[in-house]
Structure 1
Amino acid sequence: MPKYHPVSLLLALALLPAARAAGPADVPKTAPDSKLMTALETELTRAMNTLGNDPAAKAKSPKPYFLSYAVADASSLTMSAQFGALTSSNQSHTRTADVQVRLGEPALDNTHGDHRNSALSTIPLPLTDDPAALSRSLWYATNRGYGRALDSFLKVKTEQQVRAKEEDVSADFSTEQPKTDMLPASPALTVDKAVWEGRLRELSGLFKKFPDVFFNNVNLQASTETDYFVSSEGAKVSTPSHVARLVIVARTRAADGMDLFRVETFESDEAGHLPEQKVLIEKTLAMAQNLVALRNAPITEPYNGPAILSGRASAVFFHEVLGHRLEGQRQRGDEEGQTFTRLLNKPILPTFLSVADDPTLATFEGHPLSGHYVYDDEGQPARRVDLIQDGVLKTFLMSRLPIASFSHSNGHGRAETGRMPTGRQGNLIVTSTKTESDKALRAQLIEEAKKQGKAYGLYFEDISSGFAVTTRRSPQAFQVIPLVVYRVYVDGRPDELVRGVSIVGTPQAALNRILATNDKPDIFNGICGAESGSIPVSAVAPAMLVSEIETQRQSQGIARPPILPPPSDGK
């Protein structure tokens, strides 16, 4: 989840079948080798013994120094409904293999610089455990991958002769200890389709009571997946994954043409553990009522002053403003802005804040975390990484792509199937030693607004998404899109709901304006897109008070609300 910038965090409204891995405590570590794993090992060994060793070849080709097969064996179910009727209901079973071929040596190989994706070839695999069919498919993908890698390796060697010396001369691949851990396959997917079709129809039908809501979608996605990884280094890992996610989306349009939407996302390990229907109905009705209120709310003007970000808003803020810039690959390369590269062991946050990324956590205070996994997509065990301690930057999120001062992975090499792994966030967790009650934090907001001569401060209650620009050729900026924002007036007037707000800024300035936090961390689960594809992530953070935040108006749109009034109850 070619280079892709900006990087972004989205709610699960993208409806991707992202899976959350079961942890070591969830399943026993005893499982027989599967026929699929045996086929992977057999073909990998044959390929390594054959490639570059053909005595009949006119010109000797280089032998791969690394070869790996990563297979995602997934079963999924998705169903959607709108305005009380089903729009889709589908089940699927897929097997997809990523074949990675590296030529040269770890110090310089075919993935160097802009050629990183040359190592990867992706193909669908047979769904049955037919050894001959599996081997034939893997053979074809390996042969194709070897050709791509050879072509890119020749280009890399040529470019090295003509280009200036790079700032970071780190190797292209790290040396790691191979792991062997065969966890049992993920359990079969079980969803009571009839029950859930009825639940989705009921939830989506609630929007028929709100004539100004012109679009809604209630989507259930459930998946169970087993990931297999073998490499020429001796790695041999299989890990189960399973997740169920319910996403409710609704849209309306104000009279002035501004489109507005709300999203509610619920996640668990399986569909049977999602919230009861009564809870979902309450949440859906509250969301619809808030949309109607937003439609009639005034548009806010550009603002620069104090604000409180709720825990969810704060979590997205840290993911976008900080997290992406601490991903290892962003510290090297001619295109990267390298915001914090040279600030290692220096303060980049107030001293009362610390930040870790811990994908080993399956839950936080009883709530599931989307960014949990047992092994990353390079076969390395997930690890907690203390990124910032008491405001001081300590390390980065590392895949097997080394950078200056960090030559090894710390278990954060992640990718969507079909993409090369890079250093990515898992569960980003922000902790604070300077906490206040919500009441005290609000009082400080009003006091700070008075001090700055402002009529009001802002309170950001809910958030939808954001993106961060990390490339060198563009301003090192971020944007976060709130959904529910209030003006908190200093003269005691009731808080006022407003719309059309977008938080903007630059990272170093924004991070140093945090004054205090509350004492109740909140969770944001979502899907994050970047150069290695779209992956599930979580961010956990307390609400925070900032002395200064900059907002701008969102684009407004020119389309009118629907001219034809909606029918009533199908008439």
Structure 2
Amino acid sequence: MNLILKKLQISSSLLPAALLSATLISTNLVTNTLFAESPTPINDPLLRAMRTELDREKTLLLPGMQKPYFVEYRLDDLTSYEAVANYGALTREEENHQRIVRVTVRIGDYAADSSSSRGDGTLELAPTDDNPEALRYALWIATDTAYKNALRAYSAKQAALKQFQSSQAQQDFAQVKPVVQVSPLVTLDLDRSEWKRRIVEASGLFASDPQVRPFAEHVQYSTANIRAIALNRYLVNTEGTTVRQGYTGYDGAISVGGQAADGMRLSRDNGTVAATAKELQSASAFRKRTLEDLKSFEELRNAPVVSADDYHGPVLFSGDASDDVLNRLFVPNIEADRPEMGTTARTTGAYSSSYKSRVLPEMLSVTDDPLQTKFDGKTLLGAYTIDDEGVPAQSVDIVVNGKLENFLIGREPVKDFSSSNGHGRAAAAQPPHSRAGVILVKASHPLSSNELNKRLLTMAKEQGRDVYAVETLGGELLPRLLYLVHPDGTRQLVRGAVFDELDNRSLRSDIVAVGNDPYVSNSLGPVPQTTIAPSMLFDDIGVKRATLEQQKLPYYAPPALSGK
């Protein structure tokens, strides 16, 4: 968020003086009939200021220019905290609080307007106190700029559309009923002193705990951090929608790593993510997880490199690994981002031509239900009741018995989907896009963990060879903890592998069995999301040795450890 602040400061300083001094021309013309009446006044100074300024600017007009049919004000009030520890010492601690307004102005009408598939809107820093006059001034400046930008964009878009023979098939913006919802404000609730103590201890365990101290010299970095976010979002628009809602998120992370004797870089990254501070791991659990990561890092160092022989065969993915696979290969493709003008594709994803086609095995169905707030007693970060475009959240059956039946849609229609299903979501200060909330994968005939492992071993015996099981994945779906599974059931940790041809075809055709062990993965990304998926057994995945060049080991020995 500091980057956002810096960009806003730079962009404001570069605005022409004439633009900053330009005023919005008010007229006595009758307000556009699409504008809804303001809702009953609400006891919130920010919402009142936003509605007051919006009502004043309903009469936006420049001589000879079109009048907006839709104006939206969004204010993001973001508080963030982060503390970082390295090698047993606190190295950084910072807290930020800022407010940013995003003003969107649309010229034209719902069928064809000035919008772009990349997102629209003008940003302006807002006062961090509750001064209504200062907020209205920021809104005025941002609205003036957004209006002028929309006029230029509308003219350019109309000219561009003339290049195409067929007319635009879908509306640019879906009309919805206004909603009013004012939820309680959220705040950070973190015991900072306690968590600083925890991360300092965790980052120094490699050197202080007797269990891992014997191989402490192999650890080249040891980092722990705690991150917390509280976002209160205010939204008003000329349709009459007034929403105030927010969420909190917490992430306690651990990262340790170094090199094997042959120079291969290895790491273990882990953590605890929760919607509330009280749902983070306890101090003892956080310490235990750190020690387990340090031990598994040392096991990785001593593990053999995966065989150089080509392998295509069974691979069992844990629920943790399955979540990562789905978040990488499946979820982005059911979020219906609209393609550029002049294209006939339904969306920009790999499933743009897969509507009503099979994208998963018949045994699997997938639902996105943002209204589900808990699963197995755990609060779900991806849950919400109103999306970031003021549309009530809906449960959507995306895949039914393997067949793609729906996409996740915001207010930007795509082919065959003319209305929003409540999935327009936005990162702080960013425009909304179609995004997932709570993804839940269900199987018609799930197996127990014992049955799933027996199925894997049966395949190994039938094929007369070793097979694989993966517990955790890293970026780019790289296996972090990959085990060679022998036909007798014993397992051997290996390193240096990559998956080959793990893609959407694999999701559609290679999953042969699914567990009954759903794993909840909360993600505190720019847009909070939750994916809940079980273990999955693939029958034909390629595993091969990575071809990365190994780096030299450190020339110098690490500092001597103290006697503590």
Aligned match for 2:68, one of 48, 64, 69:
64
- Please state if 1:363 is matched with 2:377: no
Instruction: Map Cα deviations across residues 49-74 of structure 1 (whole Å, 9 max, x no partner).
Output: 2x22x4xx3xx111111111111112
The one-letter code sitting in structure 2 at the alignment partner of 1:228 is Y
Matches within 5 A, 1:500-539: 500-503=496-499, 504-527=501-524, 534-539=526-531
Once the two structures are overlaid, the 10-residue window that deviates more, 399-408 or 168-177, is 168-177
> Percent same amino acid among aligned pairs?
30
Aligned match for 2:323, one of 291, 315, 318:
315
Partners of 1:213 and 1:103 lie apart in 2 by: 58
Partners of 1:224 and 1:314 lie apart in 2 by: 29
Preserved CA contact (<8 Å) 1:488 1:496: yes
Matches within 5 A, 1:120-269: 120-165=121-166, 169-186=169-186, 188-208=187-207, 209=213, 210-269=216-275
Partners of 2:195 and 2:534 lie apart in 1 by: 34
Preserved CA contact (<8 Å) 1:255 1:560: no
- Please state if 1:80 is matched with 2:84: yes
Preserved CA contact (<8 Å) 2:409 2:434: yes
Aligned match for 1:299, one of 291, 301, 305:
305
Look up the SS of the partner of 2:359 in the other structure. coil
Report deviation, 1:570: 5.6
1:242–1:509 Cα change, 3 Å: closer
Report deviation, 1:331: 7.1
Partners of 1:233 and 1:161 lie apart in 2 by: 30
The one-letter code sitting in structure 2 at the alignment partner of 1:321 is L
The one-letter code sitting in structure 1 at the alignment partner of 2:543 is T
Once the two structures are overlaid, the 10-residue window that deviates more, 173-182 or 204-213, is 204-213
1:561–1:48 Cα change, 3 Å: farther
Preserved CA contact (<8 Å) 1:98 1:417: no
1:463–1:330 Cα change, 3 Å: farther
Instruction: Map Cα deviations across residues 89-113 of structure 1 (whole Å, 9 max, x no partner).
Output: 1122111111111111122212245
Cross-structure match for 1:496: 492
Cross-structure match for 1:474: none
Give the TM-score normalised by the residue count of structure 1. 0.85
1:484–1:330 Cα change, 3 Å: farther
1:371–1:34 Cα change, 3 Å: same
Once the two structures are overlaid, the 10-residue window that deviates more, 131-140 or 436-445, is 436-445
Q: How many residues align?
A: 512
Report deviation, 1:449: 3.4
The one-letter code sitting in structure 1 at the alignment partner of 2:468 is L
Instruction: Map Cα deviations across residues 333-356 of structure 1 (whole Å, 9 max, x no partner).
Output: 648665333433333322211101
Instruction: Map Cα deviations across residues 428-459 of structure 1 (whole Å, 9 max, x no partner).
Output: 110112222222212211222344x4621110
Cross-structure match for 2:110: 106
Look up the SS of the partner of 1:153 in the other structure. helix
Once the two structures are overlaid, the 10-residue window that deviates more, 376-385 or 395-404, is 376-385
Cross-structure match for 2:49: 39
1:276–1:510 Cα change, 3 Å: closer
Partners of 2:162 and 2:85 lie apart in 1 by: 58
Look up the SS of the partner of 1:324 in the other structure. helix
Look up the SS of the partner of 1:436 in the other structure. coil
Cross-structure match for 1:328: 336
1:360–1:568 Cα change, 3 Å: farther
Partners of 1:397 and 1:564 lie apart in 2 by: 54
Look up the SS of the partner of 1:211 in the other structure. helix
Partners of 1:102 and 1:553 lie apart in 2 by: 52
Once the two structures are overlaid, the 10-residue window that deviates more, 548-557 or 123-132, is 548-557
Matches within 5 A, 1:2-41: 32-41=42-51
The one-letter code sitting in structure 2 at the alignment partner of 1:460 is V
Partners of 2:43 and 2:140 lie apart in 1 by: 21
Aligned match for 1:282, one of 285, 288, 307:
288
- Please state if 1:352 is matched with 2:358: no
Aligned match for 2:534, one of 536, 539, 542:
542
Cross-structure match for 2:420: 409
Partners of 1:427 and 1:568 lie apart in 2 by: 48
The one-letter code sitting in structure 1 at the alignment partner of 2:377 is G
Preserved CA contact (<8 Å) 1:257 1:556: no
The one-letter code sitting in structure 1 at the alignment partner of 2:106 is R
The one-letter code sitting in structure 2 at the alignment partner of 1:375 is I
1:556–1:31 Cα change, 3 Å: farther
Give the TM-score normalised by the residue count of structure 2. 0.86
Aligned match for 2:97, one of 93, 97, 104:
93
Report deviation, 1:247: 1.1
Structure with the largest fraction of strand: 1
Preserved CA contact (<8 Å) 1:359 1:426: yes
Partners of 1:232 and 1:433 lie apart in 2 by: 46
Look up the SS of the partner of 1:319 in the other structure. helix
Look up the SS of the partner of 2:528 in the other structure. strand
Look up the SS of the partner of 1:486 in the other structure. strand
Partners of 1:418 and 1:381 lie apart in 2 by: 21
1:440–1:257 Cα change, 3 Å: same
Partners of 2:464 and 2:237 lie apart in 1 by: 60
Cross-structure match for 2:466: 456
Partners of 2:548 and 2:93 lie apart in 1 by: 35
Partners of 1:570 and 1:141 lie apart in 2 by: 58
Partners of 2:42 and 2:230 lie apart in 1 by: 19
Once the two structures are overlaid, the 10-residue window that deviates more, 204-213 or 128-137, is 204-213
Look up the SS of the partner of 2:123 in the other structure. strand
- Please state if 1:439 is matched with 2:436: no
- Please state if 1:386 is matched with 2:382: no
Partners of 2:164 and 2:311 lie apart in 1 by: 46
Report deviation, 1:253: 1.7
Partners of 1:243 and 1:273 lie apart in 2 by: 10
The structure with the largest alpha-carbon Rg is: 2
Partners of 1:426 and 1:37 lie apart in 2 by: 26
Preserved CA contact (<8 Å) 1:517 1:543: yes
Instruction: Specify which structure has the bigger relative contact order, considering alpha-carbon pairs within 8 angstroms and separated by 6 or more residues.
Output: 1
Preserved CA contact (<8 Å) 2:236 2:243: yes
